[in-house]
Structures are given as structure tokens and as C-alpha cells.
Amino acid sequence: MIALGGTIGVGLFMGTNSSIKWTGPSVLLAYALAGAFLYLIMRALGEMLYIDPSTGSFAKYASEYIHPFFGYLTAWSNVFQWVLVGMSEMIALGGYFAFWWPNLPQWIPGLVALIIICLANLTSVKAFGEMEFWFALVKVVTIIFMIIAGCLLIFFGIGNDLHPVGLSNLWTHGFFTGGWKGFLFSLAIVVGSYQGMELIGVSAGETEDPQKTLVDAIKSMIWRILIFYVGAIFVILCIYPWDELGQVGSPFVQTFAKFGIPIAAGLINFVVITAALSGANSGIYSSSRMLYTLGFKKQLPRKFTLLNNSGVPVYSVLAVSCGILLGVILNVVLPLFYADASSIFVKVFSASILPGMVPWFVILISQLKFRKIHQSKYGGHPFKMPLSPYSNYFTLLFLLVVLVFMFLNKETRISIIIGVFFMIFMAVTYFVKYHGKTSEDK
């Protein structure tokens, strides 16, 4: 549920219109293709976790099996990604609550939500897990209900005077509507919407019986996500011609409304609020563990490793929460300078995409050396990476193609540029402060 909560969110509820606009119904293939490659990434992570489960796993693997710099970069990329996601969610919350209370200052919902989530993360890992479970459950139940209701409408006409809508909207208005260029452009949004799957690795060191728990979770997770993403978008594209979706508002709201549910708008607004809370909740958990890892390596002050009685890194959680607090401050400041401050959400969120892909690269590369070093432990290993090393190479190539087309697309180019500048800054910082120094020197 942690992995589902971190993945099923803004990308599905808010990114669908953009990806459909670029490629039409073929976006279904984009989600399936990206899902298959992300499954390979999770299998590579699962192979290593089965032998060596540890908190902050992929940053640890990057340090040990590639180079300490990549562990440093991975940890900071994860922190940067989730702080930006958390900031964007706090910005978005103000707009969501304005649906019901238009006169409510937009910074108040974000501040209240951040305090609640921060306190839950400080309390215990169990409190975080319970909160994330219920956030994820709300999203999952909503999507399942939408898929069932949509299929009844498509195949039996229930909600449409018993006149089945059918499948013709998938092709009568075009399938690859933007050609291969549009299809490859859409992969940026699609791949971005899958970010968060690796969260299950961060929690590895804090689960009971990690081998069994993580193997079962990874095996089942990809199928659930493919069903939720591909299934939900399949229903939407069957009910509405793809070129009308930009004119009918949220496709999720419209699907519920089409089925005869008058409170559709309010219901989906509530679900999107839980998605925003879930994203911030996952972000605080994940990035605080990365700060803990950096503190343990003496690349941050030692206080970032201090734990409370529940085993929670207190200063790390507070530091990430303070970073996300910037999103609340932006909700106060930006309306003074911009007439439409809501557009800042897109700008802030998009900057997290490239840093969010860094863990995937290091997982795939780390696994190649990990297998060579730990070959003696693979005798009864039940969860090996399929077709490795060739599957690693193909997946790395896929990720590189996505990045190239993100840069070529003017609507996603800024996210690449911000990500590149961030990584250059972190590289300079590492090689100036830490390269070649012993732990005593740090």
C-alpha cells in the first residue's frame, strides 16, 4: 500500500489530459510499456533487497556497487524530488479546498495538512503506515468503482438508457493521433506518474520478515498499478472521444457524472485531496530516511541520525517538513505577484521528474555488480531479475529515450534543465567537500 500510495496520485488524476492530448488513445500502450520497464526496475531492486534489505536501500547500493558519489547523488535526488512533490501538493491543496470554501485563504489547508502529516511521521513508522494505508485505500476504491461503473456503461449501457457505449471511441477519432513523436512525448508524463514505486525499497529495513514481505509486494504491485492506470484510462477513452476530453473538465469527474452520480465533482475533489496528502506523507517518510543515511555517512550533521523512542529520525523528518513548508509560504506570496498562482503547481512538480529517475538508473546499474559480488548467495534465490543483464541495458536505454524526448518537448524541457543544474550542483558539492576524504575528515 505504501508503493501504491506513492505511485497512484497526481500522475493519474492530473496528468492524464496532457498525455492523452499528445498521443490520443495510444496512451494506453504508453502506460503498459512504461509499466513493463518499471516492473523490471522493481525486480532488480527486489533481487538485491532479498539478499540485503536495509533502510535507504538504493542509495546504499549506489555507494557500495557504483561509487560513493552516486550514493550521495541518489540520496539528495530523492530528497529534492520529494520536497518538491510535497511543496506542489501543499500548493494544490489550497485550490482543492477552494472548491468548497472559496473564501478560505489558500495557505491554511496546506499548513494544517503539513502539521498533521509531520506529527504522524514523528510518532512512529506504524503511524505513517496506517495513514498511508487509508490514503491509498481511498484512491484504490475510487478507481475500482470507476472501472466497474465504466464497464457497465460501455458494455451494457447502464447509465445510458441501456445503450452500450462500446469501444469505437478508441479508434474512430484516431489511435496514434500525435504519431510516434507524440507517443514518445507522452512517455514523460507516463513515466513521471510511476515515480514512487521505489519507496518500497526505502522501507525494507523497517519491515518484519522483509524477504517474504517485499517479494510478495513487488510481485503483486505492478499488476495492480497496471490495472488501475490502464483500466481507468481505458474506461475514460471508451466513454469520451479523446479530442473532447480537454473540453469536459476532469475525465474522472465526467465518468462518474455520466454514470448518474450527481456528487461526482465533490467526490473526486475529496479523492484528489487524499492523493495530495498521500504524496506529501510518502515524501516526508522517504526523504527523511535519505537524510538519515547522509547523516550516518557524516555528510550531514550527526543530529540527523538521532532517533526518538519509536526509532524515527526526528531531525530528518523536521528538516524535510520545513522544506515542504516553502510550498505553504508560496501560497501566501505568489498571489501577490501572479494572477494565476495555481499554475505554479505544475512548474514545481515538473522539476521533480529527472531527480525522481535517478534511483531507477542506480538500481539497474547497481544490480549488475551486486550479482557478481554476491553470486554465492544466488543458489536458492527465488526472485532474480529476469533476463539480466540484457533487461538492464534495454531498460536503461528506455529511460534515456524518455529523457531525450522530454528535452525536445518544450512543455517538459524546463524540468530537465532544472534537474541537470541540480545534479551539477550536487556533483560540485560532493567532489569539493567529500571526495577522497576519510570518515574522520568529514
Where is pLDDT greater, at 16 or 174? 174
Note the pLDDT tens digit of each residue in 283-317: 888 888 889 888 888 888 989 989 888 888 999 99
195-236 pLDDT, tens digit each: 777 766 655 555 666 677 777 777 777 777 778 788 888 988
Domain boundaries, the chain: 2-377+384-433
Please give the pLDDT value at position 394.
96
Per-residue pLDDT averaged across 336-341, rounded? 60
Instruction: Give residue-wise pLDDT tens across range 105-145.
Output: 888 998 999 999 999 888 887 777 788 788 888 888 888 88
Residue 338: the pLDDT is 60
Taking the CA atoms of 265, 267, 268 and 273 in sequence, report the sign of the dihedral they define. Answer: positive
CA of residue 79 relative to chain centroid, distance: 13
pLDDT value of position 114:
93
Give the model's pLDDT for residue 134: 84
**How high is the pLDDT of residue 102?**
85
* Spatial distance between the Cα atoms of 283 and 164, rounded to a whole number of angstroms: 42
Q: Which residues, 6+ apart, have CB-to-CB distance to 360 below 8 Å?
A: 38, 41, 198, 399
Q: What is the CA radius of gyration of the chain?
A: 22
Q: In sequence order, what are the residues at sequence separation of 6 or more whose Cβ sits closer than 8 angstroms to the Cβ of residue 338? A: 344
Q: Which of 104-113, 262-271, 356-365 has the lowest mean pLDDT?
A: 262-271
Span 67-89, mean pLDDT? 87
Share of the chain above pLDDT 90, in %: 19
H/E segment holding residue 152: helix 125-156
The pLDDT value given to residue 204:
56
Which fold, 2-377+384-433?
A: Amino acid/polyamine transporter I (1.20.1740)
The pLDDT assigned to 439 comes to 47
* Residues forming beta bridges with residue 143, ordered by sequence position: none
In Å, what is the CA distance from 77 to each residue of 176, 373, 375?
Answer: 34, 26, 30
Report the distance separating Cα 82 and Cα 90, nearest Å.
12
- pLDDT above 90: residue 360: yes
